[in-house]
Every structure is written in structure tokens, then in C-alpha cells.
Chains A and B, each alone.
Chain A
Amino acid sequence: MAELARLHLTDPELERFGHELSQILTHFATLSGVDTEGVPPFAHASLEAELADDQPWPGLTREDIAGMAGSRFAADGGLFVLQGVFGDTDR
């Protein structure tokens, strides 16, 4: 699960979380006893499929992004600097 969530966990953390999550999940097994035959998954009534007006509004400037990204952003090219997604350590 830690791998799926891209979370590095130390050994003590793995042990502690394993124990805590087992306890929590055991408690939640009570849900399986509830009869949900024919019951739809929840949706807020207020969520109508509305489209926004096609009006542009100001977004972030390159300066804004540079302010938040620091050296990760090459402002002159307007590109983020990343490590390669594909490579020798392909997962």
C-alpha cells in the first residue's frame, strides 16, 4: 500500500501502521452487515451537470509559478525541470 501511495515508510512506521490499520479495518467490517440492496452510491443533490460560462479569467503568471516553485521552474522557458519519468529504473 505504501508503494502504491508513493510513501516512504520506515520499519517502525510500517509496523505501527500495520497494527493500527488492522484495528481500524476490523471495526469497519461492520458495514458489510448493512443491507444496501438497490441503494445507489451517494451523490450531492446540488451537483447538477452545469457548465461554466466560456469566459476567460486571469490565471497564474510565470512569476506567480516561479514564486511557488523556486528553482524547479525555468521561468525563461516556462517549463518545470524534472527527473526523467522513464529510464533505467523503470517501475
Chain B
Amino acid sequence: MTRRAAESLADLPLEAAAMSLDRGETTAVELVEAVLTRIDRHDPRYRAFLTVDRGGARAQAREADERRVAGRSTPLTGLPVALKDNLLTRGLRTTCASRMLDSFVPAYDATVVSALREAGAVIVGKTNLDEFAMGGSTEGSAFFPTRNPWDPGRVPGGSSGGSAAAVVFGGCSFALGSDTGGSVRQPASFCGVVGMKPTYGRVSRWGLVAMASSLDQVGPLTRTVRDNAVVLGALSGHDPRDSTSAREGVPDFLEGIEDGLEGMTVGVVPGLLEAQGVAPGVAEVFAAAQGACRRSGARISEVELPHLEQGVAVYYVICPSEVSSNMARFDGLRYGTQVPGPDLWETYRRTRGAGFGPEVKRRILLGSFGLSAGYYDAYYKKASQVRTLIAAGFRRALSRCDVLLLPVTPTPAFRQGELADDPLRLYLADVFTVGVSLAGLPAVSLPAGSVDGLPQGVQLVGRRFAEATVYRAARALEKATAASLADRLRERQGDLG
């Protein structure tokens, strides 16, 4: 195999790479070398990775090849994976992109990481994120920003920006991110990859550094819809270590995935895009996606989501409240950074003052305020009641359709630094993703077209635990729009060079 051909293994969708491995056309060792070569070539520019474990990855690849020969492989054996750096990896530095944990090495794996190891996936490294997963651009990383591979002057989105970028340039065959208010779906849209936020409780949160405990979910970022379904299948299921993980059975997410949109009803909210000031290009991509659904045989049904607009305010009261509680563990006493003071209280103050970046501090302050005596009823409790209304609104809408078609973001990827000084504007850009998180529903973002040459996604939302239905609709839309990563890379004639 020529060097170029060998390196292009890094661009293969997961299923194609697995087939190549099964047929003996390539080995896990060759595949991981292709991925590591890509990282060497592209990561200095895009900066998706915080930690790359070359030695560990090569050793895991050798084991994966042995496992395949012994007939004990799974669909993920030998496939290189990049993990968002808020997922604990035993023996491998986990920073959450924060100075608070910049030298922290966990003593245990997150449940999803154990699942990937057991399946024989090859962990290549840890990817960049907004600090403690708080943000929508990955500019909030305490170390450095990640750049969008389609235009390095733009953001890859966030908070799972590193994972999304790594999938684009071949730094992995697939990646894991986490989504609390859109942090898998939005970077998926900005980077032209497929990102899924599962139903709350579908995937264990054990070992995912907690941000907002009633919202967080781990989700895959992949090149294709089918790849995403394969990965989610390996991650899903009840975990006795996570009392919020559901006892719901896990279906085969690939079953029925090719059944198409015939016979399905897709719900759309009339006037939604105009009301939210969506950029014209984004509206065109959305309209084209809606047309593609109709031409593929779906019935389009008009539905209402009456409280969607309040979603941002609700989210940015509830999320910081839960954040302020979850961040209390970072006190410098048992692990992580410590800045000692003359007494315990000063140690807390200095450690947290130095260890946390501005967005984390902002959310801790907002959250402490919303929960404090005298304000709890007006803020947290009120937000929680409106959350019930939002969830009920989604349930009603989804009683009249199988999936909802929504935008993901009001604009394509914005420029680095453009929203850095305007936290409120950054929050308002989450209007299409946070409501779904508040309701705990599954949603996928998949690329559906371009705006000024940049990828743009659309979002499909399903009922609770109906990921298979969401994947079926997404697969049909992926075929109809021909806007997948592979399609885009083919247009650009090869890799990003």
C-alpha cells in the first residue's frame, strides 16, 4: 500500500474500516498509524487534542489484531477513538481543559470508557473542550482554542469541539463527546459530522465529570449515521453505578435504520426560524432538508412548541445551579490543583480563584445566586416549573409526529473571538438545542448542506428512548441530502491537506 493510501485509512467511516479489518485488507496497527500520522500532520494547526497516547494506542492496536485473529472481535475492535477530556481514563491525564485538573491522572475509567476498552476500541487520546464543558466554541479551554478544520479562523463549536474536529481530519475513526445543552449537536453541525445526544438515562454518566446532573449525556460523534448507531449501541445500558441510568432495554439501533422515511411523520414548527432570527443560509438548508424529507415519503406535520423560547432562560438558571453544586468538589484538598492559603477558607478561595476560568466562575456565581435563600423560588423553582411545561410541549408535539425536524444553530460556525466578550449572545444561540436537553429527549445533528462553504446541520428529535426511530429518519435524510462528511471530502478531492 502506498503511504498516501495507507494514511487515507484514517478517513474511513467506522463500518468500512471494520469491514477492512475483518477481511484482512488492513490491520489495527496500520489503522492506528494512519490516524497518528494525521494527528502529526493536522493537529498542530487544528489543536483538537490535549493528550495523545501514542504508546498506549499502539499497544491496544496490537492487542486488537490478536483478538481479531482469535475470533473475539466486536464491531469496534481495532477502531481508533478520541475521547473528550471530561471522560475519566485510568492512567491517562484528564484535565476537563481546566487548570484545576491540568496534572490530574484518574485512577479509574468512566463506564463508557470501560465499555470501549472491552469492545477492543483503541484509545488514541483526549480531546479539547470548553473548560468543564461550559461553552459553545471550545475557546473556553484554559489551554488553547481548537480550530474548525473547514476554516481555521472559525470555531469548531463546543463544548465537544476537539472531538468534532478530530473526526473531520482523521485523528480518530470516531469520537465521544458530552452534551448538556447542545455540546455534541452544535459542534457536529459546525464541523459537518453526525452527533447524537441520547435520551437522558440511556448512557451511564459514571466517570463523566459532572456538569449539570439532570442534563448531561455522553454522545458519539461520527462520520455517518450508521457509525453513530454502532457506537451508541456499545455505550448504552443500565449502570448500577449511575442511579440516573435507565433500566430500559437497549435495542439494536441498526435494525430498521435503512427503512426510510416512507410512512413516517416529521413535525416542523411553522415560523420558528423567522422568530429566532436564523441566518438566511441556514433557513435555506433547513427548508431543503424539509423538502428532502417530503420527497423521501415522509408526511410533514405542523406542530407547536409553545415554550421553546423560554428554554434559554430556563437552561441558564438550572444548568448553572447544578454546576455550582457539582463544582464544589474542586477544593484542592483531595486531588487536582491546590493553591494553599494561611487557612482552609483561603485555600478554597485561592485554589478556586486560580483553578477556574471565567465561564466556570460566571456559572458558579449565577448558580449560587439562583439557589440562594430569597431567590430560590423566583429563579430555580420557577425555571424547574417552566421546564415541566417545555417537556410537556415536546411530548404533545411528538404525539403528532414520529420525529421533529429542528435547526441546530441559528448561524454556521462563527469566527474565533467573535462571541468571546458576549456571553449572553452565546447563550441565546443555544435556543434550538437546550429545550431538547431540558426534556431529556434523544436528538441527532447531521450535516444537511452548506452555508458560505461551511457545513450546516439539522436536528432530528425523537420520543424518549426512541433513538432507533431518530436514526432511521436521519439515515434517510443523510442519503437524500448527500451532505455527509464523505460527500464533502470527495468534493474537496481528498483530505484537508
Contact = CB atoms under 8 A, between A and B. Distances in A.
Interface in A10-28: 10, 13, 16-17, 20-21, 23-25, 27-28
A21 B427 CA distance: 12
Which residue of B314, B424, B464 has the most chain A CB atoms within 10 A of its CB atom? B424
Interface in A45-82: 45-48, 50, 52-53, 60, 64-65, 67-69, 72-73, 80, 82
Contacts of A83: 343-344, 347
Given A27-B313, A68-B335, A42 B382 contact: no
Contacts of A5: 324, 352, 364-365, 368
Contact of B105 (A68, A85, A89): A68
B107 interface: yes
Contacts of B346: 89
Contact of A2 (B335, B338, B365): B365
B423 A82 contact: no
Given A34-B386, A87-B343, A53 B248 contact: no
Given A42-B391, A50-B243, A8 B105 contact: no
Contact of A7 (B352, B384, B387, B440): B352
Contacts of B352: 5-8
A28 B383 CA distance: 9
Say which size band chain B's interface belongs to: 35 or more
Interface stretch (B55-63, B353-361, B447-455): B353-361
Contacts of B378: 32
Contact of A42 (B347, B356, B379, B388): B388
Contact of B310 (A13, A31, A39, A42): A31
B193 interface: no
B12 interface: no
A11 B201 CA distance: 42
A31 B343 contact: no
B275 to A, nearest CB: 14
Interface of B: 104-108, 199-201, 214, 240, 243-244, 246-248, 307, 310, 313-314, 316-317, 324, 331, 333-335, 338, 342-350, 352-354, 356, 358, 361-362, 364-366, 368-369, 372, 378-379, 381-389, 391, 423-424, 427, 438, 440, 464
19 contacts: A2-B365, A6-B352, A8-B354, A25-B366, A31-B313, A31-B379, A36-B382, A39-B386, A42-B385, A42-B387, A42-B388, A44-B244, A46-B246, A47-B201, A60-B107, A64-B107, A67-B105, A69-B334, A89-B342
Interface of A: 1-2, 4-10, 13, 16-17, 20-21, 23-25, 27-28, 30-32, 34, 36, 39-42, 44-48, 50, 52-53, 60, 64-65, 67-69, 72-73, 80, 82-85, 87, 89, 91
Given A39-B388, A72-B333, 9 more contacts: A16-B358, A24-B366, A36-B382, A42-B214, A45-B464, A67-B107, A80-B334, A82-B333, A85-B344
